[in-house]
Every structure is written in structure tokens, then in C-alpha cells.
């Protein structure tokens, strides 16, 4: 197990370097002048450009630039934006908001998705089963921003006035429930379908039949044997999904005007704040890689059949 973890960690390094370099190159080695439009209606002052280029190492070859950037990152320095504000500081104010929303989304999709999946999996083909199938299909087909806009409009004061759909700049947990639901809605459909098919499959497995034959009560068969094994793929999915929820939060944040990292990175790209973009993407990549490692390890814990040498 220890050796496996070590090997996986080593494998992460080239992937991490590759992804971050790819983004770095895309952001900085672009044909567009990073200073265009930075100074209003006038072109920037040459002296200003010279100084900023020096500060951002823009005169070095790309690879050297990248490693200088990485070097700073290792000691925790995310760099500063054009206005001299620390990127680390900006990320640290926005990150918790997005993380909060991501976790809410994860909880919602897990709870609703698994319940729907288990209920329909146990009673295959009935009204409930069809209802869940159709509604998951619909959720999968609906673009996230449409769900967001429609819910925001029709639940809010201008629609049926059921709740306050606006999100303040320092959102509370309650304010983030609706955006979290929207963010998690798509994955919720997948969780439901995944749980359902997994349960259906495992219901016919030998160990379930054995358990029933041994005369164990229904609740124990379902709770201990069936659920535990059926939820393994679901948990894998949820684990990798946290990463994509954080990366995909940009759309939901746009719909609800939430001041999270999605907005930060979107503005970063629009305003050519390369330092900001690379910083956040690096962070997201790190989360994604670590989550996928965690999921692999969870496999071993949950499924006794899997052993890592």
C-alpha cells in the first residue's frame, strides 16, 4: 500500500507539471500583447511596459519564465497582479466561497442522488423508477445556466417569490443552497443513475443471494451487503466530481453573480491577468489530482477484493 501511494504520487508530478505548463504557455505565449487595453483609451507608456515586463519575467524564454514562476509557487508566492495585489490573498478570499458552494452541491447531489438511485434500484420498473429515469434524463440535457436562470427568475421576487435568490458578496450558507443545487443538479442525475444500475447489478450477485439464503433480515442485506458494494462506483464518481464542480462553478457563479474563484478567473482571463489565471488553474489541477488519488485509495478501503501491491 505504501509503495502504491508513493508510485501514484510520483506519477502525479509529470501530470501536474504538464498541465500547469500547458496553461502557463497558453496564457503567456499568446499572440496578444498583455498590455493592450491596460491603460484606458491610450497605449501604455513604454516605461511602464518595460518595468512590468521585467517584473513578470516576460523577457525570459518561456520555459525559464515557467520555472521561475513554479519556484515562487513552491515557496507559497502566487505572485501579484498588475495592480500590485497579491494573487494568493485574492484567491484566499474567493476560494472559501466556491469551496462552500462546491461542498453544498456535493452533499445535495449525494443525498438526493443516492436516495433516488436506491429507491428505484430496489424496485425496478415502476412509476417511481420511470419518474426518476425521465427526470434524470431531463436534468442531463438541461444546460446548467438555463437551470440557474430559470430557478433564479421563477423562485425569486419577480417570479413566485418563494425565496430571496440574490447572493451577497459574502454569502452565507443559506444563500448558497440554491446555487449549490444548480451546480450539483447535473451530477445528481448521474449519481442517481449510477446508484440504480449498480444496485440492480449487485442484487443478483452471489454474495447477496448467500446473505438472503442465510436468513439475514432484508434491512441487513440491503444496508450492509448491497449498499456497501453498490456505492463504491458512486463514491468514486463523487470524489472526482468535487474537482469538476469547482472548475465548473464558473457558470453557476456567473448566473448568481457569486464572488468566487470562477468570477476571479474569468475576469483574470478577460483582463489578461496571467498570474491570476495560472495561479487558480494550478490550484484546481492540484485539487483534481489529489482527489483522484484519494478515490483510488478509497477503493482499497471499501472493496476488500482490491489490493494494491
Q: How far apart are the C-alpha atoms of 278 and 229, rounded to whole Å?
A: 40
> Could you say whether residue 181 binds another protein (CB under 8 A)?
no
216 vs 296, beta carbon nearer another protein: 296
Taking CB under 8 A as the criterion, the residue among 5, 119, 140, 297 binding another protein is: 140
> Could you say whether residue 277 binds another protein (CB under 8 A)?
yes
Taking CB under 8 A as the criterion, the residue among 58, 240, 293, 302 binding another protein is: 240
As measured in angstroms, the least distance from the Cβ of 64 to another protein is 20
R_g (Cα) of the chain, nearest Å: 24
> Could you say whether residue 244 binds another protein (CB under 8 A)?
yes
Secondary structure, 3-state, 160-229: CCCCCCCCCCCCCCHHHHHHHHHHHHHHHHHHHHHHHHHHHHHHCCHHHHHHHHCCCCHHHHHHHHHHHH
The three three-digit cell numbers of residue 28, written as one number: 503567456
As measured in angstroms, the least distance from the Cβ of 214 to another protein is 25
> Could you say whether residue 62 binds another protein (CB under 8 A)?
no
Stretch that binds another protein, among 173-181, 212-220, 275-283, 301-309 (CB under 8 A): 275-283
Q: Over the range 55-87, which residues count as b (16 or more CB within 10 Å of their CB) and which as e? A: ebbbeeeeeebbeebbeebeeeebbbbbeeeeb
Asked if residue 228 lies in contact with residue 125, where contact means CB atoms within 8 angstroms, the answer is no
Residues in Cβ contact with 285 at an 8 Å cutoff, skipping those fewer than 6 apart: 16, 19, 20
Q: Please report, as residue ranges, which positions from 29 to 58 form the binding site for another protein (by CB under 8 A).
A: 30-33, 36-52
> Could you say whether residue 67 binds another protein (CB under 8 A)?
no
Residues in Cβ contact with 307 at an 8 Å cutoff, skipping those fewer than 6 apart: 300
Q: How far apart are the C-alpha atoms of 186 and 148, rounded to whole Å?
A: 12
As measured in angstroms, the least distance from the Cβ of 304 to another protein is 21
Stretch that binds another protein, among 115-123, 150-158, 209-217, 221-229 (CB under 8 A): 150-158
161 vs 201, beta carbon nearer another protein: 201
Taking CB under 8 A as the criterion, the residue among 111, 138, 228, 303 binding another protein is: 138
Taking CB under 8 A as the criterion, the residue among 6, 64, 137, 224 binding another protein is: 137
> Could you say whether residue 126 binds another protein (CB under 8 A)?
no
> Could you say whether residue 306 binds another protein (CB under 8 A)?
no
Amino acid at each position: 500500500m505504501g509503495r502504491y501511494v508513493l508510485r501514484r504520487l510520483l506519477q502525479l508530478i509529470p501530470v501536474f507539471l504538464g498541465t500547469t505548463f500547458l496553461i502557463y504557455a497558453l496564457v503567456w505565449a499568446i499572440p496578444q500583447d498583455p498590455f493592450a487595453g491596460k491603460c484606458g483609451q491610450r497605449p501604455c507608456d513604454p516605461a511602464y511596459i518595460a518595468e512590468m515586463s521585467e517584473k513578470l519575467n516576460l523577457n525570459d524564454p518561456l520555459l525559464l519564465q515557467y520555472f521561475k514562476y513554479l519556484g515562487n509557487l513552491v515557496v507559497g508566492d502566487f505572485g501579484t497582479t498588475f495592480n500590485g495585489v497579491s494573487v494568493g490573498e485574492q484567491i484566499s478570499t474567493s476560494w472559501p466561497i466556491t469551496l462552500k458552494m462546491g461542498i453544498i452541491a456535493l452533499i445535495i447531489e449525494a443525498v438526493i442522488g443516492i436516495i433516488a438511485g436506491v429507491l428505484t434500484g430496489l424496485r425496478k420498473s415502476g412509476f417511481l423508477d420511470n419518474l426518476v429515469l425521465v427526470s434524470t434524463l431531463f436534468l442531463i440535457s438541461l444546460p446548467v445556466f438555463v437551470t440557474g436562470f430559470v430557478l433564479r427568475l421563477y423562485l425569486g421576487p419577480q417570479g413566485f417569490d418563494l425565496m430571496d435568490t440574490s447572493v451577497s458578496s459574502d454569502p452565507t450558507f443559506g444563500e448558497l443552497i440554491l446555487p449549490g443545487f444548480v451546480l450539483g443538479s447535473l451530477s445528481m442525475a448521474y449519481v442517481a443513475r449510477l446508484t440504480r444500475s449498480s444496485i440492480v447489478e449487485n442484487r443478483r450477485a452471489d454474495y447477496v443471494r448467500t446473505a438472503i439464503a442465510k436468513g439475514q433480515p432484508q434491512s441487513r442485506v440491503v444496508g450492509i451487503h448491497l449498499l456497501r458494494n453498490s456505492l463504491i462506483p458512486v463514491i468514486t464518481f463523487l470524489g472526482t466530481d468535487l474537482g469538476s464542480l469547482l472548475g465548473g462553478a464558473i457558470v453557476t457563479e456567473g448566473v448568481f453573480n457569486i464572488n468566487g474563484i470562477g468570477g476571479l478567473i474569468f475576469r483574470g482571463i478577460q483582463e489578461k491577468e496571467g498570474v491570476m489565471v495560472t495561479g487558480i488553474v494550478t490550484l484546481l489541477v492540484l485539487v483534481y489530482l489529489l482527489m483522484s488519488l484519494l478515490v483510488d485509495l478509497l477503493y482499497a478501503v471499501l472493496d476488500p477484493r482490491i489490493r494494491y501491491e
